[in-house]
Amino acid sequence: LWRAKKEMFNKLAKALDSPNFDISTQRRKDIVKYWEKTHLKYLYVVLTIAYPTYFVWQLYPVFDEEKFNLMVDLKVPFRYDEPLSYAVTYIVVGTVFHYVSFMVMVCDVLMQAYLVPVICQFDVLADCFENLFDECAAEFQASFPEVDKDDLVNNNLFVEKYQKRLGDLVARHQAILEQAVDLKGILSAPMLGQLACSGLIICLVGYQATATMAENLGRFFQSLLYLSYTMFSLYLLCRWCEEIATQSQKIGESAYFSGWESGISQAPGVRAAMMLVIARSNTPLVFFAGGMYPLSLTTYSTLVKASYSALNLLLTTND
């Protein structure tokens, strides 16, 4: 998937370095820093859960009481109950387990690395729209201090400056929407698989943790760590997708409070551009798993509840 869409992902990765990404004010720089810190904070949390989970699963078979045990219950077409054959099998299986585990972690980290910048761009753009008139007025009056702020809407030079600035913001809005829609289309099918697998894992691993809690503490902590990682990574995915929907809708509110009541809306093209932005933002940009299930915290809580109900059914049946 990453290779097939390499050009698009490269475009997403460079979005924050675009010359059209306006962080000329301190407030917008603070917004970027906030999302940068938020991204790093959750990245560290993911890795803090992921690495102990990986090492426990990798090393536990060496220290448990069972002989010739592997990190996963794997059926191979030969016996490995001799020291040499066990060592070779353990190394081969461990190597495969290593690459698969890190592939999962890298995919989760990359997912966040592409979703959070989209959120940041929407947040910065909302601030640009909200302060559009005031910033244009401040810049214009710095060059023409003799023009009163109340008379700016009657000044042709200011109107041209405002129209150009508004056109740039509308183009930027369209570019961010295109990035988000492309990302939404690419992630739809994989996210349906991840949603289904996560629900199954929460149920089965939760059952394993409950079943081994009193008998085998090592297996219990293995299951608990894996369950924690699965639930937290799914939570982050749903949270970032919901945040994109929220921030995309916020653009319309910011455009409405951009100072159009000063009379600038009478300028040619201004009202139409504002109405277009507000109308587009009224429909939030919702990410779907397989085009069916919205990726949101509501979906996450519903999935967890369904998995918990299935877990209770398994425990009741077992009793």
pLDDT tens digits, one per residue of 195-245: 888 888 888 888 888 877 777 777 788 888 888 998 999 999 999 999 999
Residue 297 has pLDDT above 60, yes or no: yes
Instruction: Average the pLDDT over 91-118 and give the result.
Output: 86
pLDDT tens column, 114-139: 899 999 999 999 999 998 888 888 88
Residues 135-170 pLDDT 10s: 888 888 888 777 777 777 788 888 888 889 999 999
Question: Distances from the Cα of 252 to the Cαs of 88, 244, 247, 269, in angstroms?
Answer: 61, 14, 10, 17
Own/partner pairs for 137-146, CB < 8 Å, 24+ apart? Answer: none
DSSP label of 319? -
Mean confidence (pLDDT) of the chain: 84
pLDDT at residue 145 in the model: 77
Max Cα–Cα distance, the chain, nearest Å: 92
What is the C-alpha to C-alpha distance for residues 175 and 56, in angstroms, rounded to an integer?
44
Predicted TM-score of the model (pTM): 0.86
Task: Report the SS3 class of residue 279.
Answer: helix
Between the alpha carbon of residue 104 and those of residues 141, 150, 234, 315, the distances in Å are 54, 58, 12, 29
Proportion of the chain above pLDDT 70, given as a percent: 96
Question: Are 93 and 71 contacting, i.e. CB atoms less than 8 angstroms apart?
Answer: yes
288 pairs with which residues across the strands? 294
Task: Give the model's pLDDT for residue 4.
Answer: 56
